[in-house]
């Protein structure tokens, strides 16, 4: 009887622990329209700057706890108006692998993080967070994608919402 009671308590506590898992939300954005100036680090076009402002409007009522960007002008300029509106600084991350995503997740578990990247690394981050291969690179002229991924842990119980702005 005592053993059965302990098992029941363990099951209830286990369910309680699971139900209290922190949900972390990643708002993943590809940079806005860039200038085609032949450089490796182009700035945003006027249309890109307007899109960056639309991101501020879109997320105006959303709690954002951190903003990350690669170290390129186009990504920094895409999230700079949002960072200003939210009173946050922009942290940089290395887009070449998922070690940075692990660190961001560990540092901001249970919070909402905006990550700005590129046509190839944003889909890769979604695939990593969801432990899937469902998302392909964006086309070069595809700038308005936002993927919102909510996870309790990387690769488990992920939900994805795909929006355009």
Q: Which of 146, 149, 147, 143 is nearest to 44 (CA)?
A: 143
Q: What is the pLDDT of residues 111-133, one digit of tens each?
A: 999 999 999 999 999 999 999 99
Q: Which of 72, 25, 34 is nearest to 52 (CA)?
A: 34
Parallel, antiparallel or unpaired: strands 24-30 and 112-117: parallel
How crowded is the C-beta side of 116, counted as CA atoms within 13 Å?
Answer: 28
Architecture of domain 21-164: 3-Layer(aba) Sandwich (3.40)
Parallel, antiparallel or unpaired: strands 145-151 and 24-30: antiparallel
pLDDT over 70 (residue 16): no
Ordered by start, the domain boundaries in the chain are 21-164
> What pLDDT, on a 0 to 100 scale, did the predictor assign at position 18?
43
CA distance 117 to 54: 17
End-to-end alpha-carbon separation of the chain, Å? Answer: 59
CA distance 100 to 107: 11
Q: What is the pLDDT of residues 30-72, one digit of tens each?
A: 999 999 999 999 999 999 999 999 999 999 999 999 999 999 9
- Beta partners for residue 52, in sequence order: none
Q: Which of 149, 130, 152 is nearest to 20 (CA)?
A: 152
- Please tell me the pTM assigned to this model: 0.87
């Amino acid at each position: 009887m005592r053993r059965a009671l302990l098992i029941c308590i363990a099951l209830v506590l286990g369910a309680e622990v699971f139900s209290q898992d922190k949900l972390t939300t990643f708002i993943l954005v590809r940079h806005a329209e860039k200038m085609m100036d032949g450089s490796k680090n182009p700035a945003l076009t006027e249309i890109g700057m307007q899109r960056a402002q639309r991101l501020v409007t879109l997320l105006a009522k959303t709690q954002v706890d951190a903003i990350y960007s690669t170290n390129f002008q186009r990504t920094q300029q895409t999230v700079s108006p949002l960072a200003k509106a939210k009173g946050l600084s922009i942290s940089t991350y290395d887009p070449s692998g998922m070690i940075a995503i692990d660190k961001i997740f560990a540092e901001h578990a249970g919070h909402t993080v905006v990550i700005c990247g590129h046509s190839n690394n944003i889909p890769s981050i979604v695939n990593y967070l969801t432990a899937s291969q469902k998302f392909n690179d964006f086309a070069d002229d595809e700038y308005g994608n936002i993927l919102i991924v909510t996870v309790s842990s990387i690769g488990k119980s992920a939900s994805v919402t795909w929006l355009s702005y």
